[in-house]
Amino acid sequence: MENNSRLFNASCIALTVTAMTFAIRAGILNQLNVDFDLNNTQLGWVNSMAFLGFPIAMIIGGLLYNSVGPRKLMWLAFIGHLLGLILTIFASGFWTLIISTFFIGFANGSVEAACNPMIADMYPEKKTAMLNKFHVWFPGGIVVGALVSKFMTGADLGWQMQIAVMLIPTFIYAFLIFGQKFPETKELESDTGENIKGLFTPLFFFIAICMTITATSELGTQQWVEKILANQGASPMLVLALWAGVMALGRFFAGPVIHKLNPVGVLFASAIISTLGIFLLLNTTGSMTYLATIVFAMGLTYFWPTMIGFTGEYLPKTGALGMSLVGGAGMFALTIWNPIIGGWLDDAKETALASGLSGDAADLAAGQATLDNLAWFPFVLIILFGLLYFYMRSRDFKPVV
């Protein structure tokens, strides 16, 4: 049990690093824009590399988990984080940012590929609840990263220093896993051939498709918060910290919520609340933006960990591979959507300028137009998760433990 606790803590710190890379990258977009003369579309391509490296690592990790185990995947994550962060610090332009961001994304995916099935094996009687507690540290790390970025930017410290800060927790999780005995796969199906067969079910494909939409609803908005909300009368980094803080609290107390509603009910309710939240963001400015953010964050809180937990509980034959591929599908979607979101911002700003707006007014109009496009993602989820909720009830599906 003590060893499990240490490995769980190491997993949480590794996920904190993952989250900090998202938050700090969101916070330094304007600095990268100026230093390297990049437009929003180019920044979108840089962002997309983090989301491309992530699913590649999760696919590889999912396929290899049964044979190499979580230990090697965690060390692979450490090497990727170390390499990616150092290369980012010394980046000289668009292509070096592309390469370094890919390595960071690969490391982030390796963390998920190792830790999700490992935690499911360590806590077989409460998989979804413990996965939610683990995933507390994604929004938790976002809070840390957002506040670090705001403070360091306000202190006129360069973006390279903000990247360097993340080396500290990277070395901490390496210390925690050093010399530890890792659990063997026992609660999830551990035959890779059987895992692959288990993927070919309509329910798995449905969940994977839904994951692409939930991930874009959360991370597509989150990654561009500095650009979208820059002129809405609220501090984007404080919005991001508040957003992530609400999610962290919600995930920490996930057990009673999931027990009360069951995973599918949680997903359906989350879709409704997140849709309400994003429409509030569209129609508020100034201090009311913070209230809208709380509602939106409450809706997003349970999407990611509950869908991973749903895969482990209702589709156990897919094993570690299934959990990795569902998460990978979400991140791969962001590889596609990030340049598109950047393009929406560029196009909307051109339209605003052509209509006679200028300066902050044009940026505000561009941000709201982009947010309007993003609002369709949670709205579609109401339909999809509503269908899933009534389908699962009609078939009386039970989790497999």
Q: Are 28 and 152 in contact (CB under 8 A)?
A: no
| Structure-block tokens of residue 286 | 């100034």
Class of domain 2-177+192-395: mainly alpha
Q: Are 15 and 115 in contact (CB under 8 A)?
A: yes
Which among 263, 251, 271 is positioned nearest to 313, based on CA atoms? Answer: 263
Vertex 139, ends 319 and 28: CA angle to 5°?
A: 115
Taking the alpha carbons at both ends of the chain, their separation in whole angstroms is 20
- Helix-then-strand count for the chain, H and E: 19, 0
Written as tens digits, the pLDDT of the chain (401 aa) is 558 888 999 999 999 999 999 889 888 888 888 888 888 888 888 888 888 888 898 888 878 888 888 889 999 999 999 999 999 999 988 899 999 999 999 999 999 889 988 888 888 777 767 877 887 888 889 889 988 988 898 888 889 999 999 999 999 999 999 888 887 765 555 677 888 888 899 999 999 999 999 999 988 888 888 788 877 888 888 888 898 889 888 877 766 666 666 788 889 999 999 999 999 998 888 889 999 999 999 999 889 888 888 888 888 888 878 887 888 888 889 888 988 998 999 899 999 998 888 877 888 888 889 999 999 999 999 999 999 988 888 776 555 44
Domain ranges of the chain: 2-177+192-395
| Structure-block tokens of residue 85 | 């962060």
Vertex 313, ends 308 and 315: CA angle to 5°?
A: 85
Which among 47, 56, 45 is positioned nearest to 80, based on CA atoms? Answer: 56
Q: Are 318 and 199 in contact (CB under 8 A)?
A: yes
| Structure-block tokens of residue 248 | 């962290």
